[in-house]
Amino acid sequence: MLQMKLGNLTKQQFQVLLCRGRGLSQKETAAELGTTRANVSMIEVRARRKIQRASETLRAFESTRTDHMVEVGKGLRIYEIPPVVLREGDKFGIHLQSNFVDIIRLVRSIEPACLKEGRTTRALRFSFNQRGQLRLAGR
């Protein structure tokens, strides 16, 4: 049997969340797990609280990273690269100092060999910092 890592959740908390995720009521979940509705409620509240704290911790950690990475895949059209990079900045709440045209110029000037017929011939990795400064990774 495949063992799944539950992180900080207990097996019981995980089971309750699975049942609730399947659309079962707390009463139905209690019947399925052989416990009371009040116990299911308490287990669910504690599980969701743990998940919330873990999410907050992860967000706090991500916000302290100095460089964020984004990779664009092989075969992408050159004009498809900027939206991917800019969305990644938005995901972290970082306004990149580069715009659509700047990103295309960056690729064409630093990695011209990676373009053939307007498409990338290999994956490109970009990095940006909290101040929104963008560069091709490794450059």
Query: What tokens does 29 get?
Result: 């979940």
* Tens of pLDDT, residues 95-137: 999 999 999 999 988 888 888 998 999 999 998 888 888 988 7
**Who wins on pLDDT, 8 or 42?**
42
Q: Quick one: CA dihedral 27, 32, 36, 42, positive or negative?
A: negative
**Who wins on pLDDT, 118 or 26?**
26
What is the predicted pLDDT for the residue at 55?
87
Distance CA 103, CA 25 (A): 50
Distance CA 104, CA 78 (A): 7
Distance CA 89, CA 91 (A): 5
As a whole number, the mean pLDDT across the chain is 88
Closest to 132 in 3D by CA, of 83, 87, 82, 97: 97
Residues in Cβ contact with 82 at an 8 Å cutoff, skipping those fewer than 6 apart: 99, 100, 103, 104
* Tens of pLDDT, residues 36-46: 999 999 999 99
